[in-house]
């Protein structure tokens, strides 16, 4: 394999079963949202049990991290999800547990919030990181 092919392969933007989130901001709210506000951006595709998963929100505000997603064709039930957020710049990552996320018809989608986040996660969702990109993996447990 030539050096050019090796270099091209290592620069691939394919992140597999994950989203690439560009950190956005609205006031003191940081992250990504398409619920009640348009904040940041997300690209990529995630599948769970052969169904498309759409990220609706991963946003930090005043001590709370809100998380919402949709699963194609699913409008009820509960999931146990771990969210892993990794900086594409520094490769540092944080994990946030959502052990009992349930469907909320008013979103509509699976929605939960938590205050149980590390100081590393709080620093990640901050003004200093607006415009930076993060790999967001949804791990269904």
- The whole-angstrom separation of Cα 120 and Cα 95 is 10
What per-residue confidence (pLDDT) applies to 15? 56
State pLDDT tens for residues 68-103. Answer: 999 999 999 999 999 999 999 999 999 999 999 999
C-beta separation of 127 from 88 below 8 A? no
Residues in the chain, pLDDT under 50: 1-14
Residue 37: per-residue pLDDT? 87
Query: What is the per-residue pLDDT for 14?
Result: 46
How far is residue 21's CA from residue 87's CA, in Å, rounded to a whole number? 10
Look at residue 67 in the predicted model and tell me its pLDDT: 98
Beta bridge partners, 54, equal: 70
Task: Specify the pLDDT at position 114.
Answer: 97
**Cβ–Cβ < 8 Å for 26, 36:** no
Q: Which pLDDT value is given to residue 16?
A: 67
């Amino acid at each position: 394999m030539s050096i050019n092919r090796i270099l091209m392969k290592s620069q691939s933007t394919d992140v597999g079963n994950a989203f690439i989130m560009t950190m956005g901001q609205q006031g003191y709210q940081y992250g990504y949202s398409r619920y009640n506000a348009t904040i940041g951006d997300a690209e990529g595709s995630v599948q769970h049990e052969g169904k498309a998963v759409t990220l609706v929100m991963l946003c930090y505000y005043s001590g709370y991290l809100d998380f919402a997603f949709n699963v194609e064709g699913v409008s009820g039930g509960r999931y146990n999800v771990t969210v892993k957020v990794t900086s594409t710049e520094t490769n540092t990552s944080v994990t946030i547990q959502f052990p009992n996320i349930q469907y909320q018809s008013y979103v509509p989608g699976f929605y939960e919030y938590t205050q149980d986040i590390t100081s590393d996660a709080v620093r990640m969702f901050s003004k200093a990181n607006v415009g930076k990109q993060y790999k967001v993996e949804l791990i269904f447990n």
